[in-house]
A and B are shown apart, each in its own frame.
Chain A
Amino acid sequence: MIQWVAWLGAFFLDRVGELGRSGLFFYRMIRGLFRPPGKFHFVVKQVYFIGTKSFFVIGFTGAFTGMVLGLQGYYTLSKFGSEGLLGSAVALSLIRELGPVLSALMVTGRAGSAMCAEIGIMRIEEQIDALECMAIDPHAYLVAPKLIACLIALPLLTAFFDVVGILGGYAIGVDLLGLSSGIYMDGVERSVAWEDVYMGIVKSLWFALLIIWICTYKGFYAGLDEGSFGPEQVSKATTNAVVASSVSVLVCDYVVTSILL
């Protein structure tokens, strides 16, 4: 029994310690934005990595999400005889909800995991130590450019996702199910207000912050708890990063939605 309590205590102390450390990491990451070295070159590279290279995946996911929404939406709406609302339904659910969330999840899987592994390898091979010994702040050199790049790339990818998704819904609703093209597009145009777009952008900015924070944090401290630095630590960190980052995106989605609604 006593052992049980001790175990529980240790567990919570661990969590609190982790919370403190990740908070400190967050502070250093933000501080890193304002510290040398110059970041332009790195940011461009990272935008290419996060953005351009995710383009295809995002387009693909967006198209199929829009198509499924078209099918399901049509089926549901036709029960109430209001197929005419399909355009609004697809556009609103994409722009407010699915676009930001699914884009963030895809970027987590594609770029977040890679960043975590990259930084984790730099940790176990003492490259991060080497940076510190050169009087270079690794948060400013490694992490901050990724944050800027993701803040730029994720909203753009989200917008791309939304557009492709709306076209996917169009393909199903209009071309396959025979809805009039004018009705669909009119629904999109009339129902989407600035608040909806704003909500989508705010969400994707928060998601970008979360993804980079969690994924680079996990990589940065890969193996430090075990006190051993090997490939297993990196793979473990990467798995943790993807899980934690995805869950946080979903939780954050709920929080932002409830605040902005």
Chain B
Amino acid sequence: MSAAVLDPPGDAPVVELTGTVDFKSVPELRKRLLKVVKKRGGDGLRLDFRRVTRMDTSGVAMLVELHQLASSRGSRLALIGLNEQVRRMIQLARLDRLLGVSIGEEAGCQ
């Protein structure tokens, strides 16, 4: 698992995630992402999932927490390039509406 933070000027910061987002990688990843949201609170955050192979429930829970934190600062979380497995994981938890994930969205983003 790795996460690269890109910060294009004048736009929301983008974090590129790579590998698996599971209970082994979430504790570290969460710390880094919370830091980004706290620092750039109002600007929103884009999470690039294109290179994420697999995510488990702890990943979904982390997204919920990030979403709550971002909303409390008046911005949003955007998830980009979710693969089939990640999307299903979110849909199974019925959090697709909350996290703004819809079926077929990934086609538009890739």
Q: Is there a direct interface between A and B, measured as CB atoms under 8 Å apart in the complex?
A: no
Give B residues with C-beta under 8 Å from A. Answer: none
A: residues with CB less than 8 A from B are none
